[in-house]
Amino acid sequence: MFYRESGDFKTTYAKDTQTFPIKLDRVGYYIILAVAFIAIPLLLITDTGGGANYWTNAIFLPFLIWAIAAIGLNILVGYCGQLSLGSGGFMAVGAYASYKLMTSFPDLNILFVVILSGAITAGVGILFGLPSLRIKGFYLAVATLAAQFFLVWLFNKVPWFYNYSASGQISAPTRSFFGFEVTGATASAEAKYLFCLVLLFCVAWVARNLTRGRIGRSWMAIRDMDIAAEIIGVAPLKTKLSAFGVSSFFIGIAGSLFFTVYLGAVEVGEAFGIQKSFLLLFMIIIGGLGSIFGSIIGAAFMVLMPVLLKIILVDQLNWATDIAAHFQFVIVGALIIIFLILEPHGLAQLWRLLKEKLRLWPFPH
Amino acid sequence: MSANFFYTIEVIANGLMTGVMYSLVALGFVLIFKASGVFNYAQGVMALFAAMTLVGIQTGQVPFAHLINVIFGTHLDKFGWEVPTFIAILIALAVMIGFAFLVERYILKHLVNQDPIILFMATIGLAYFMEGFGDLMWGSEIKKLDVGLPQGGNVWLENATAGWAEGFYGFYIDNLDMWATAIAIVLVAGLIVFSNYTKTGRALRAVADDNQAALSVGISLRKIWVIVWSLAGLVALVAGIMWGAKSGVQFSLSLIALKALPVLMLGGFTSIPGAIVGGMIIGVGEKLFEFTVGPYIGGATENWFAYVLALIFLVFRPQGLFGEKIIERV
Amino acid sequence: MNATAESYVTEDGRTIGGKVMEMKNITLKFGGVTAISNISFDIREGEIRAIIGPNGAGKSSMLNVINGFYHPQEGEIWFRGEKRKPMKPYQIAQQGIARTFQNIALFKGMSTLDNIMTGRFTHMKTNMFWQAVWKGPAEREENLNRDIVEHVIDFLEIQAIRKTPVGRLPYGLQKRVELGRALAAQPKLLLLDEPMAGMNVEEKEDMSRFILDVNDEFGTTIALIEHDMGVVMDISDRVVVLDYGKKIGDGTPDEVRNNQDVIDAYLGVAHD
């Protein structure tokens, strides 16, 4: 009744293919943007207790950064159908590229550092994507494991990557963007938050554009029926490599932000191990494969759930933290299975179905 | 013949036996994949869970002790009895069979016509679930697994071969590895006999070949799946015992599953002999590479060598050594 | 009727041109099985060429050879006067050959509109940078091609299912969408692999009408595999008959209908 579509006719192709064709959606989108860009930073600035930092570090930053990574992985897995278990390793490439750039070129603007790190990761991703022409399905997934383990080993063993430091750890020096510090210990919560938010917005915008045009269709064609796709003119290697490239670009950006803005210091095995690759995969499964909105929702879900569990189980019920951790595994595992059985297209599809119901409400059909 | 030569032989022998251990895990994958096309990522966690259950039963642990304590404030830990190894193994096996039933009923049945990738991701979910569940049930600390198999280097062999060359102190081969190899051979032989000479085994092969055709001759798909997952559970139990006795029952056991993947890539996903051969190639390859090249590049190459080897191999032969050639039709 | 290389005009006013595709001595083997054995035939511009024969005769394999999906061990393929060099299927598609498939090969995850838009691949060129920005060349190109696709949608009368995911469409409509995808490519040669399979009489009449309209309005050269003899005899200009990988007949529908070999192998005789 209030979610109306009828009477809303599009008279140009441009209007027909816009991202939010329904007016109510558009309004909702602007509201969310206002909250994200204005309301939350104001809250962060005015909060002088430890609260701002806690919220930023526990929820906002991981959410924004994982959302970027999830969009990246979704392009490769959800849109192009190439299963990859190497995302952790690629995030590591982004992080270490940033470290080397920041330490070798101290005057380089942090934004360029992040973008360049993404570009370097794209190159590595394309390299590891080369076998995808010959290898498909699970075999490809296992091949990406080669990337995961090799890269983590590489950053652990080759001292050049961590500037020959004794501990093997890398830490991010302070850098500013337009006068506000965004990395390092003195950076403010709102600066870090806005920096990541702007990047998420840009990544989502680019991803939306790529997936609604020719390239997006070529990815989906390869995913759905790669032989037929080739026969109608889609060059398979070029298309798959472009998916690997774009996906790794975004994942590299996420890895760079993860290190520079969020954690500040990382040890590669712990920060970028295989567990992170699976975490990212779960985000896009639960959120919805082949959906940008789904990637963002999935990231929000997987970031919020442990926090919620901790609040309920540890703070309220006084359970030990390790039991809470075990419960998390149980719940995540069960949710994955339930989602795959009930709604393989994830939360994004559930949202779509909900909107369909809303269109008709209060009529049943 | 220098000491180095004998050490190399030792490395190869150890590699072969490690390979056999990998094959034990890979076998479980092959069984399930052959019969249902499902790539069961949870196989490694099944081995871990089976081992944990065995130890838990043996030592008389109370299941979910920690959880119950935390909710009710009790202080449960053990029942106070100990179960003899043989009976404990049987009970653990029964638990794995029960597990197979539950998996079929609540997961496989509902995902029958889905893409293989969806099924694969469901098994990843299952792996995570089992991991948390196992930890809740038996506790996540490292446990020692003792089923009465001798451990430690074989002293007799070491003494007999010492002094074969200057600076060579004798072959150091773990007793446990030798037992594992023997048990694996028996297990594989048993599986091959079962598959080729019994009625159920024939039914399994029929299902592996063509689900629809098997259905049409009256084979119950669901029953076969329960049987196959139970067999995989048995294999997981054996693998769990072997690996657990060697390095203790702990989380890292489930990571062995990841190692089994390159084994499968080499040997093909549907071949039992392939799993063995693939396992041995990976085992020997890993150890040799670490022994020869490892010291020059910082060591710990066993983390990734198997995957890179399998990757290179796959580029030239996408179906593995023994797998069926993939024919694509339009 | 006319085996010369010059163009002629048919009774209903269409112009049939020179050879657009020629298969010379094609032999295709899979291991020990010979699917196609020394077959030669040609397809002339603007005509509707039917390929018929019993199951397993090698008809689909022949189309796959034309597409470049299978590589014949022997023989040459000449397209528009040039001998074909070893090429990948997507390059052959770029030359202007489009096709439909026996078992529908639509992209199930996409809508009708998107599926037909994929038919425009070979004509869309904007690079990744402009696509990422969208506003500007990419959007213009998208809307231009959308226009062409909309014409195809109008032509096939499938406006109502534009946004429906094709997986949800009934079989007959899926076949039509697949035809749309092939048409959107504005091909020089259109290959149809059993376009009428699984259809009832009404659907067959619709599909025949579309095929004839495509040939009439756009002058598209069409080669089709089909089992329904009524359709074949009605709409095709020339027919080539295959049996067990060999060619046993080649000519107009009337010539083929009276060819004893064809009758023995395939058509059979009407019982009195």
- Count the alpha carbons within 13 Å of A356 in the hemisphere toward its beta carbon: 7
CA C111 from chain centre, in angstroms, equals 22
**Residues of chain A neighbouring C186 (CB-CB closer than 8 A):** none
Region for residue C152 given its phi and psi (left: phi exceeds 0; alpha: psi -120 to 50; beta: otherwise): alpha
Q: Mean per-residue pLDDT for B268-294?
A: 85
Sign of the CA dihedral running B177, B182, B187, B192? positive
pLDDT at A176 over 70: yes
- Could you tell me if residue C272 is inside a domain? no
> Is there a single domain that holds both residue A121 and residue A13?
no
Kindly report the CATH number assigned to the domain that includes residue C214.
3.40.50.300
Distance from CA of A102 to the nearest CA of B (A): 26
pLDDT tens for B17-56 read 888 888 888 888 888 887 777 888 888 889 889 988 888 8
| B197 or A100, which is more confident | A100
Q: For chain A, report the end-to-end CA distance as a whole number of angstroms.
A: 12
Q: Give the per-residue pLDDT at A276.
A: 93
Which A positions 110-169 lie with beta carbon below 8 A of chain C? none
Distance from CA of A264 to the nearest CA of C (A): 31
Q: Give the per-residue pLDDT at C182.
A: 93
CA angle (C225 as vertex; C221, C226 as ends), nearest 5:
120
Q: Give the per-residue pLDDT at A114.
A: 94
Judge whether C101 is closer than 8 Å to chain B, CB to CB.
yes
Q: Give the per-residue pLDDT at C5.
A: 59
CA C91/CA C79 separation, integer angstroms: 13
Judge whether A9 is closer than 8 Å to chain C, CB to CB.
no
How many helices (H) does chain C have, and how many strands (E)?
10, 12
Is B308 in contact with A146 (Cβ distance < 8 A)? yes
List the strands of the sheet with C19-30, edge to edge.
C33-44, C19-30, C74-79, C82-83
> Is there a single domain that holds both residue A104 and residue A234?
yes
Distance from CA of B265 to the nearest CA of A (A): 7
Q: Mean per-residue pLDDT for B254-278?
A: 81
Q: Give the per-residue pLDDT at B309.
A: 87
Is A213 in contact with C107 (Cβ distance < 8 A)? no
Under 8 Å CB pairs connecting chains B and C tally to 5
- Whole-complex ipTM: 0.85
State which H helix or E strand residue B172 sits in.
none
pLDDT at A9 over 70: no
Distance from CA of A199 to the nearest CA of B (A): 30
Q: Give the per-residue pLDDT at B167.
A: 67
Contact A272, A152 (CB under 8 A): yes
Residue A173 DSSP class: P
**Residues of chain B neighbouring A331 (CB-CB closer than 8 A):** 132
Judge whether A45 is closer than 8 Å to chain B, CB to CB.
no
Amino acid letter for position B89:
I
Distance from CA of B311 to the nearest CA of A (A): 5
Is B121 in contact with A341 (Cβ distance < 8 A)? no
Q: Tell me the average pLDDT of chain A.
A: 86
CA C188/CA C222 separation, integer angstroms: 9
Measured in degrees and rounded to the nearest 5, phi and psi for residue C222 equal: -125, 135
Q: Mean per-residue pLDDT for A258-276?
A: 88
Q: Give the per-residue pLDDT at A5.
A: 59
pLDDT tens for A302-324 read 999 888 888 887 777 777 777 88
Distance from CA of A323 to the nearest CA of B (A): 7
pLDDT tens for B142-175 read 788 877 777 777 777 777 777 777 666 767 777 7
Is A344 in contact with B114 (Cβ distance < 8 A)? yes
Q: Give the per-residue pLDDT at A199.
A: 94
pLDDT tens for C37-68 read 999 999 999 999 999 988 878 888 899 999 88
> Is there a single domain that holds both residue A117 and residue A229?
yes
Contact A72, A247 (CB under 8 A): yes
Question: pLDDT-derived band of residue A292, with 50, 70 and 90 as boundaries?
Answer: very high
pLDDT tens for C190-219 read 999 999 888 888 888 988 999 999 898 888
- Please name the chains neighbouring A, where neighbouring means 3+ C-beta pairs under 8 angstroms: B, C
> pLDDT > 90: what percent of chain A?
36
Number of structural domains (chain A) is 2
Q: What is the DSSP string of C4-46?
A: SSS-EE-TTSPEE-SEEEEEEEEEEEETTEEEEEEEEEEEETT
> Is there a single domain that holds both residue A240 and residue A198?
yes
Structural domain for A13, as ranges? 1-46
Is B111 in contact with A131 (Cβ distance < 8 A)? no
Question: pLDDT-derived band of residue C271, with 50, 70 and 90 as boundaries?
Answer: low
Q: Which of B114, B325, B327, B330 to mutate to test the interface with C (most CBs of C within 10 A)?
A: B330
- Chain A residue with CA closest to B133: the answer is A330
Hunting for tokens 């599953």 — which residue is that? B257
Q: Which of C97, C110, C153 to mutate to test the interface with A (most CBs of A within 10 A)?
A: C110
Distance from CA of A275 to the nearest CA of B (A): 11
pLDDT tens for A105-140 read 888 888 999 999 999 999 999 999 888 888 877 778
Contact A244, A81 (CB under 8 A): no
- Could you tell me if residue C2 is inside a domain? no
> Is there a single domain that holds both residue A70 and residue A196?
yes
Judge whether A224 is closer than 8 Å to chain C, CB to CB.
yes
Q: What is the DSSP string of A322-364?
A: HHHHHHHHHHHHHHHHHHHHH-TTHHHHHHHHHHHHHHHTTS-
Q: Mean per-residue pLDDT for B87-107?
A: 89
Q: C182: closest CA among C174, C191, C173?
A: C191
**Which among A224, A228, A230 has the least Cβ separation from residue C109?**
A224
Distance from CA of A4 to the nearest CA of B (A): 35
Examine residue B295 and say whether the peptide bond preceding it is cis (omega within 30 degrees of 0): no
Question: pLDDT-derived band of residue C1, with 50, 70 and 90 as boundaries?
Answer: very low
CA B123/CA B116 separation, integer angstroms: 11
Judge whether A17 is closer than 8 Å to chain C, CB to CB.
yes
> Domain residue spans in chain B?
3-316
**Residues of chain B neighbouring A137 (CB-CB closer than 8 A):** 116-117
CA C238/CA C223 separation, integer angstroms: 10
Fold (CATH) for B3-316:
ABC transporter involved in vitamin B12 uptake, BtuC (1.10.3470)
Q: Give the per-residue pLDDT at C146.
A: 92
Is B328 in contact with A227 (Cβ distance < 8 A)? yes
Q: Which of C87, C91, C118, C144 to mutate to test the interface with A (most CBs of A within 10 A)?
A: C118
- Chain B residue with CA closest to A139: the answer is B265
Contact A262, A323 (CB under 8 A): no
Q: A124: closest CA among A104, A143, A159, A151?
A: A151
Residue A36 DSSP class: I
- Could you tell me if residue C1 is inside a domain? no
Q: How many residues does chain C have?
A: 272
Distance from CA of B330 to the nearest CA of C (A): 8
pLDDT tens for C233-270 read 889 999 999 988 889 889 998 888 888 888 887 777 66
| B317 or B137, which is more confident | B137
Q: What is the pTM of this model?
A: 0.88
Number of structural domains (chain C) is 1
Is A329 in contact with B132 (Cβ distance < 8 A)? yes
> Is there a single domain that holds both residue A186 and residue A142?
yes
Contact C247, C36 (CB under 8 A): no
- Could you tell me if residue C162 is inside a domain? yes
CA B315/CA A140 separation, integer angstroms: 10
- Please name the chains neighbouring B, where neighbouring means 3+ C-beta pairs under 8 angstroms: A, C
pLDDT tens for A67-78 read 999 999 999 999
- Could you tell me if residue A365 is inside a domain? no
CA A303/CA A299 separation, integer angstroms: 6
Residue C165 DSSP class: B
Please give the C-alpha separations between residue A26 and each of A187, A213, B92, B137, C132, in angstroms, as whole numbers.
34, 21, 57, 49, 21
Q: Give the per-residue pLDDT at A201.
A: 94
Judge whether A202 is closer than 8 Å to chain C, CB to CB.
no
Contact A170, A96 (CB under 8 A): yes
Please give the C-alpha separations between residue C168 and each of A328, A357, C262, in angstroms, as whole numbers.
37, 19, 40
Judge whether C64 is closer than 8 Å to chain B, CB to CB.
yes
Hunting for tokens 């009256």 — which residue is that? B218
**Which among C131, C133, C185 has the least Cβ separation from residue A214?**
C131
**Residues of chain C neighbouring A17 (CB-CB closer than 8 A):** 142, 146
CA A66 from chain centre, in angstroms, equals 4
Q: Mean per-residue pLDDT for B317-325?
A: 67
